[in-house]
A and B are shown apart, each in its own frame.
Chain A
Amino acid sequence: MVDGQIPVEEYETGNTKHKWNLKKIKSSHKVLAEYDYKKSEIKNGFANRTLYINLGTNQIKEKKITEDMKKKFTGGRGFGLKLLWDSIKPTTHWDSEENNLIITTGPFCGITQYPGCGKSLCLTISPSTDIICDSNVGGFFGPYLKFSGFDAVEIQGKAKEDVVIVIDGEKGKISIETAPLEETDSHLVNEQLTHMYVSEDSEGSRQNVSVVSAGTAAEHSYWGCLNFSFWDIRRKVARMKQAGRGGLGTVLRDKKIKAVVAKVEKFSGLQNNPADPGSLAKLGTKIHREIRDLDRYQCNMRTVGTGHLVEIMDEYDLLPTENYRFGSFPKASKIYSPNFYKLFTKVIPDGCWHGCTMACAKTVDGFTVMTGPYKGQKVTVDGPEYETLGCGANMSLWDPLWILEFNFYCDTYGLDTISTGTAIAFYMEMYEYGILNKERCDGLELCFGNAEAALEFMHRIARGDKGEFVGVAAKGIRRVKDWLIEKEWGDKQLIEDTGMESKGLEYSEYVTKESLAMQGGYGLTLKGPQHDEAWLIFMDMVNNAIPTFADKAEALHYFPMWRTWFGLNGLCKLPWNDVEPVNNAEADDPSKVPEHVQNYVELQNAITGWNVNKEELILQSERCYNWQRAMNVWMGRGRRKDDWIPYRSMGPVTKMEYVSRKERYDKQLVEILGLSEKEVEDMDIEKKMKLLYDYKQDQYQKLADAVYYRRGWTPNGVPTPQKMKQLGMDEPKMLKMIQKKIDEDEKAGLNVWGGKYKRGENPPSKDLDYWEKG
């Protein structure tokens, strides 16, 4: 027992209990389609088939996974990309009939011997960006989908009325059923469906059911997330993890899916039938010991989860406050992890999949809801994780209880906390400048720190409020920027520079002003500014370890490829580098945590029976990464102009920001731009800001030049046929398409470097046709 832990048998959440007539709810279902399938064993981590469902035609069928598909796409997100390529068109939008919502697993998914092996990868065409969005998520659904016999499920078409899709791995039956009476908000519908589809009335049996849903706000917003349930037998609650980014939940509700249910008869640690279970067990034992012995001295994830990052980010001036204006704030200590530790229920283990000793999924049980339709009820709040806490800071909400309220409603309404929080922070800044006001915000006083207004905004989204502001604002920052500019309510440059989105997706919660590499980590990405490709702030800004453009480009090649690999396999990245071996410091390249990389090499071999090395892992990712970028190009995006980022992520947009870090910026003018101290002293602030603005914009373009070159792309950011062939991705239709796009760019004069190179400076190559040499 750890300090503060409550014995499981004595534990009660104190949550409000709901009584539903589940028989009546279930009897109202009308079966629209059924499909019986032959159950089969998983071999070496793969079920070797995927499930296809079309809600427009009620077609249900199986698709085989070929060895060639594994060779090229590995699994997980890679399979999702292949299925998307085969099913959508370049003109497909998020709400097109043919848009495909895909949930995939990966060969590691469902393993219990090694931590972090319960992840699903979800893909679709995003309402926010109109290109592919991928998002990873814990919970039991992915493993149960695979144990039911499928490496992925893809859902095309739209139902005419609300439906649930049931994947019954116990009986070997898939069904599409109307679902008129279920709740929509996730904390309720997930509980209802778990009880409804359970085989027998026991906690163990409830644990064999997992539900994917999105709440009422997902119907009216572009920020819809997917909630993946996992039944907690200690708390007796259907807890949830979120596939948050890019509006996957919006697509789910647009297809009129109330939920997708997966159930299994049983599960075991060896259900993946790994090729070499002995090696798997050995590797697992080693990492479990490491986490048990070292976590408390390192990141303390087992105690406070990812929330430990708040105090660190605040200390390093990286915690976004007031819409990323600042990186630290005097009140930030109010939301440091010890304050949430006090609120967390100390019942362990706390993982979102079995066997995860990292166990970072924390909860606050018996939280009394303060506003909205559930006011006064007691609920379990999963989290908050670092990103949600960062949203609190960004909106200047410093009361842990209001952050929990925000977290609860985002989850149950099906809203991505990151996009919601980042967007509200932008609206709050616009409110401060008078570009928005109470009248323009449909009566909401959306100023920094006004938690009640932020929550009321979310309730209105969930209710489908018809107000002009709520309607536009629920679609995200990009649409609000266009709306404000069209209305001529504010300075266009200020609006563009301060709204923290790129490609239409809102930024996650890190201040990047002093890290050029991290600006690239957000901008030079596939789906938009999410930290899951590369997190390079420390390496760049603090360690000063990647000073040149070539160094940064190398990091922006290696880390996105490495991080992509987790998604191909159904893995969480936290056990890679949120705990490190005791002798990691002595390794050649400690930032990569080489011993853990080697674990993953051996794990993939132990599970799949392949014989790969660490270079092959990167190649696996490179194939899929380039494929996804090429698909973005196919859809009319994926060029330099699409990798644009707002200036707030590079430097000070307002005088207030400059003044707040005057010493730093003055020093940059002297040390980097070569001005004399006297010149800086005498210069007015607007001039200083302009000099920095021009310099930083040019730096970003030079970084893009170096990164595109390193990745083997054209100077306009397009993967080349030569590169694709080199990777073995030789599908003629794809190669022909990218050659055509490159030729179009050539004609338009776009195959040129973006940086302004002075005498003595060189672009990555003097030969602009470098890629043609292969």
Chain B
Amino acid sequence: MRSYWVKTVGIEVNGRKIDWVENETIKQLLRRMRYTFPLVVVKINQKVILRKDFPDVVVPDNSRVDVIHMISGG
């Protein structure tokens, strides 16, 4: 069975469920999601995390993460 059929508990990023990785920081999560755009706002369970704290803040299990990409471009 391929990976995308697997129902995971874990974390929700922008409304999509993904695996939780122990001790994963926001910076690492963004890399895993291939979110390379620099203008992002990150909230964990509705709480805004400052950009300077991305390398240090660890994403807890069962959390809801919002990675809001600003519009830019266009």
Contacts and interface: CB of A to CB of B under 8 A. Distances in A.
Bound together: yes
Interface of A: 297-299, 306, 309, 311-313, 315-316, 386, 510, 531-532, 534-536, 538-539, 542-545, 547, 559, 573, 577-578, 580, 584-586, 590-591, 593, 663, 667, 670, 677
Contact of A577 (B35, B51, B68, B71): B71
B74 A580 contact: no
Contact of B73 (A311, A535, A547): A535
A67 B68 CA distance: 42
A312 B67 contact: no
Interface string B2-43: 101100000000111000000000000000001111110110
Q: Which 10 A/B pairs are nearest by Cβ-Cβ distance?
A: A535-B74, A538-B69, A585-B41, A531-B74, A544-B15, A544-B14, A315-B36, A585-B48, A590-B41, A542-B69
Contact of B15 (A510, A534, A547): A547
Contacts of B15: 544, 547
A315 B39 contact: no
A139 B71 CA distance: 25
A593 B73 contact: no
Nearest to B49: A585
Contacts of A593: 70
B4 A538 contact: no
A538 B14 contact: no
Given A531-B74, A591-B70, A538 B50 contact: no
B72 A299 contact: yes
Nearest to B14: A544
A311 B36 CA distance: 9
A269 B43 CA distance: 41
A538 B41 contact: no
B69 A677 contact: no
Contact of B71 (A311, A547, A591): A591
B61 interface: no
Given A544-B16, A547-B15, A577 B70 contact: yes
B37 A590 contact: no
Nearest to A315: B36
Interface in B40-70: 41-42, 48, 50-51, 66-70
Nearest to A545: B68
Contacts of A538: 37, 69-72
Most interface-central of B4, B69, B71 (chain A CB within 10 A): B71
B36 A309 contact: no
Nearest to B13: A544
Contacts of B71: 535-536, 538-539, 559, 577, 591
**For this complex, into which size category does the number of interface residues on chain B fall?**
20 to 34
B68 A309 contact: no
B4 A580 contact: no
Given A539-B69, A667-B4, A299 B16 contact: no
A451 B60 CA distance: 51
B2 to A, nearest CB: 7
Contacts of A313: 73
Contacts of A584: 41, 70
Nearest to A309: B73
Given A539-B69, A577-B72, A312 B41 contact: no
Contacts of A315: 34, 36-37
A585 B74 contact: no
A573 B72 CA distance: 9
Nearest to A301: B72
A542 B74 CA distance: 16
A586 B48 contact: yes
B57 to A, nearest CB: 13
A663 B2 contact: yes
Nearest to B34: A315
A312 B2 contact: no
B58 to A, nearest CB: 19
A580 B68 CA distance: 13
A590 B36 contact: no
A543 B74 contact: no
A752 B43 CA distance: 42
A299 B69 CA distance: 12
Contacts of B42: 585
Given A535-B73, A535-B74, A663-B4, A542 B41 contact: no
Nearest to B16: A544
B38 A297 contact: yes
Given A309-B73, A531-B74, A539-B69, A580 B48 contact: no
A479 B51 CA distance: 49
A316 B14 contact: no
Given A535-B74, A585-B50, A591 B68 contact: yes
Given A311-B36, A538-B37, 20 more contacts: A299-B38, A299-B72, A312-B36, A312-B73, A313-B73, A315-B34, A316-B37, A535-B74, A536-B71, A539-B69, A542-B67, A542-B69, A543-B14, A543-B67, A547-B15, A577-B72, A585-B42, A591-B70, A591-B71, A593-B70
Nearest to B68: A543
A361 B74 CA distance: 15
Most interface-central of B15, B34, B74 (chain A CB within 10 A): B74
Contacts of B48: 585-586
6 contacts: A510-B74, A538-B72, A578-B73, A580-B70, A585-B48, A590-B41
B69 A543 contact: yes
Contacts of A543: 14, 66-69
Nearest to A300: B38
B18 to A, nearest CB: 13
A337 to B, nearest CB: 12
Contacts of A663: 2, 4
A547 B16 CA distance: 12
A672 B40 CA distance: 28
A677 B5 contact: yes
B47 to A, nearest CB: 10
B11 to A, nearest CB: 14
Contacts of B14: 542-545
A386 B73 CA distance: 9
B64 to A, nearest CB: 12
A280 to B, nearest CB: 26
Contacts of A545: 14, 68
Contacts of A590: 41, 68, 70
A543 B71 CA distance: 10
B1 to A, nearest CB: 8
B28 to A, nearest CB: 17
Contacts of B41: 584-585, 590
A577 B39 CA distance: 9
A662 B37 CA distance: 25
B27 to A, nearest CB: 14
